[in-house]
Amino acid sequence: MSLSLTRFALFTALTTVGMSPSAMADDIPVAVAANFSAPMQAIAAAFEKDSGHKLLLSFGATGKFYAQIRNGAPFEVFLSADNETPAKLEKEKMAVPGTRFTYAIGKLVLWSADNATLDAKGEVLKKGAFSHLAIANPATAPYGAAAVQALTGLGLLDMVRPKFVQGDSITQAYQFVATGNAELGFLALSQVSKDGKLISGSVWPVPTSLYDPLRQDAVLLTTGQDKPAAKALLKYLQGDKARAIIRSYGYEL
């Protein structure tokens, strides 16, 4: 039987039992900001169980996703690390108007894999007793830009800039610290904590007064505007189950 005949037979069977083709399980390509990797994996597992749809998740830097989407990448949903990039895509008619919303507000932290490196005030930055400081590329990663903003506010940017070890994304910045290639690094709170508890190492929560709010917006891309499954995912992200997962990783809503 040819592929077209197979699809026709499936369509006929669904119609016979009163189901519409839109109720069929579907694959949803989703671009997800790297800082949201852990919570999105948990949300994906719950969503797939509840809906039958499958998420094809890609994690990376927001700026790189923006370039890929503009160049025709087939993502249907975009979970950004900021609110500016989805708004820009909407203005450029690459995202569906009226679908954008803030799914999380992130928090910046300074983290070390060593339990004793960081104190409650982040004094280690002023002392400069370290060789390498990991940071996500501020040109493409909002958390990297927030780190630069915080260092500027502290008057320490020029002093510590020579010690930067720059990652393409916040995930790579985390890897630099976790593997010992940097003694400390600016990361997302969600990468190093769960249910309000630090997973390992030591941490200094960067005062939110030192950087602009990390409002993270999700949006339906034009490639997904006719896909019920993509719309279902955005609705699911605003539901109680997903929001509980998001809170458990330290995000505000």
CA 71 to chain centre: 20
How do residues 46-60 score in pLDDT, each as one tens digit?
A: 999 999 999 999 999
**Dist CA 174 CA 170 (whole Å):** 6
Q: Indicate if the pLDDT at residue 84 is higher than 60.
A: yes
% of the chain exceeding 70 in pLDDT:
91
CB-based contact 37:63 (threshold 8 Å): no
The range of the structural domain enclosing residue 179 comes to 108-205
For residue 124, give the CATH number of its domain.
Answer: 3.40.190.10
Which pLDDT tens digit goes with each residue over 170-217?
999 999 999 999 999 999 999 999 888 888 899 999 999 999 999 999
**234 and 194 within one domain:** no
Predicted TM-score (pTM) of this structure:
0.85
Cα angle 162, 163, 169 (rounded to 5 degrees) comes to: 110
| Cα angle 130, 170, 218; round to 5 | 150
On whether both 140 and 222 belong to a single domain, the answer is no
- pLDDT-based confidence at residue 23 (cuts at 50, 70, 90): low
114 and 130 both lie in a single domain: yes
Residue 94 belongs to some domain of the structure: yes
Domain count, the chain: 2
Q: How far apart are alpha carbons 21 and 96 in whole angstroms?
A: 23
In this structure, is residue 158 part of a structural domain?
Answer: yes
- Do 101 and 112 lie in one domain? The reply is no
Shared-domain flag, residues 116 and 98? no
> Taking a C-beta distance cutoff of 8 angstroms, is the pair 29, 75 a contact?
yes
Q: Is residue 21 part of a domain?
A: yes
